[in-house]
Structure 1
Amino acid sequence: MTINEVSLTHHDGEEAAAMLEELCDGYADAYGVEPGEEKAAAFRRRAEKQFTRPGFALVSAWAGGQLVGFVFGYTLPAEDTHWWGGVQPEPTAEFLEETGSRTWVLSEIEVRQAWQGKGVGRALHDAALGARGEERATLATGPDAAAQPVYESWGWRRVGRIPGDEGDYYSAYDLFVLELPVNR
């Protein structure tokens, strides 16, 4: 299995919604959990909410007719965004300003276990972010997420930590920012 066997496809929210079961199966495989377990169920709830958000986009990776990975996200709205709420250390007001076209949230990037470490994640990342017109992208990870060094090697910069909300998987999240366009 090599990255040369993988094809990437761009999708909108309606197409993503039609792929929900495949996305849930891919997510569960990426984390080595059963599709019905809490972590996978939480993914399903997040995904269903995001398919209709402005600027939503999905890039899927396929090999041999199987979904082997995906990335998706959406654009932060100009108002009522809670994304930066409580971030510490507190950035400048200019940094926190959202226009509805400034920041794209990389919400999920997942690769099936058999395909991890083969460049699929980076290909998905670059395909999704290379198609964006926003000034920057942002993502959130658990404070001890193994992916943090990978994101940093791809040019992401940690900007702070926010508290998690009640019912979140983590009690806090580290926020990262990447200036766009992506130059590899």
Structure 2
Amino acid sequence: MTVEIRHYTAEQLPEIRQTLLDIHVEVRHHDFGLIGPFYEVDRFNERLSSYASRLGWAAVVGYEDGEAVGFCFGVPLAPDTRWWRAMTTELPEGYTDEDGKRTVALNEIVVRKPWRGRGVAWQIHEAWLSRRPEERVTLLVNPTAGQGAVQAVYEAWGYRKVGDQQPFPDSPVFASMTRPVQQS
């Protein structure tokens, strides 16, 4: 299945903000039953605003027949990034050195239930990466999501776990994963 892909910058966030919030609630709350302060729509909206305020933020939304079916967004890691500070696993020297061009963080990727298992997440992910100039991409995944199936999907996409981190006191402990932006 192929969906229509649309790219967005931070300046265009007002056009898609409500769509992203609605999909977040549908998937995180209704489909996956994720509850608690970290998953509340207001907290997600705060994180969305914070990410979009950073230089280089970009999003992709997939559509079928004009209906939004999923999205992803992320931002490059600046030299002063806090991304790696929450690691509970020690990483090799230099691994966390950022310059705003080395690593892009995939902050969110979400696909609505009727479009899961049809290659839509992959399309959205690869469309977003197709415009990224960075060397590598990193993401966080809850290793218990889908009883490990979500992490396995990322591994199939070429990501490898580099360690664990807990970025917020009320967030889960996530597996931190990376892969090259462009795979050979």
Tell me the TM-score normalized by structure 2: 0.87
TM-aligned CA deviation for residue 115 of structure 1: 0.9
Instruction: Write the letter of the residue equivalent to 1:119.
Output: G
Counterparts of 1:104 and 1:82, CA distance in 2: 13
Counterparts of 1:180 and 1:163, CA distance in 2: 24
Cα distance change, pair 32–165 in 1 and its aligned pair in 2 (3 A): closer
Structure 1 unaligned runs (5+)? none
Q: Would you say the 8 A contact 1:27–1:110 is kept in 2?
A: yes
Residue of structure 2 equivalent to 1:25: 22
TM-aligned CA deviation for residue 87 of structure 1: 2.1
Written as runs of structure 1 = structure 2, the 5 A alignment for 1:96-135 is 96-135=96-135
Secondary structure, counterpart of 1:95 in structure 2: coil
Runs of 4+ in 1 over 6 A off after TM superposition: none
TM-aligned CA deviation for residue 116 of structure 1: 1.0
1:169 to 167, 171, 174: 171
More helix by percentage? 2
Instruction: Write the letter of the residue equivalent to 1:98.
Output: E
Counterparts of 2:182 and 2:54, CA distance in 1: 21
Q: Could you report, residue by residue, the CA deviation over 1:55-88 in whole angstroms, capped at 9, with x for unpaired residues?
A: 1010110112111111100001112x11111424
TM-aligned CA deviation for residue 118 of structure 1: 1.0
**Percent identity over the alignment?**
32
Instruction: Write the letter of the residue equivalent to 2:8.
Output: H
Residue of structure 2 equivalent to 1:14: 11
Tell me the TM-score normalized by structure 1: 0.87
Q: What is the root-mean-square deviation of aligned Cα atoms in Å? A: 1.8
Residue of structure 1 equivalent to 2:156: 153
State the number of aligned residues.
175
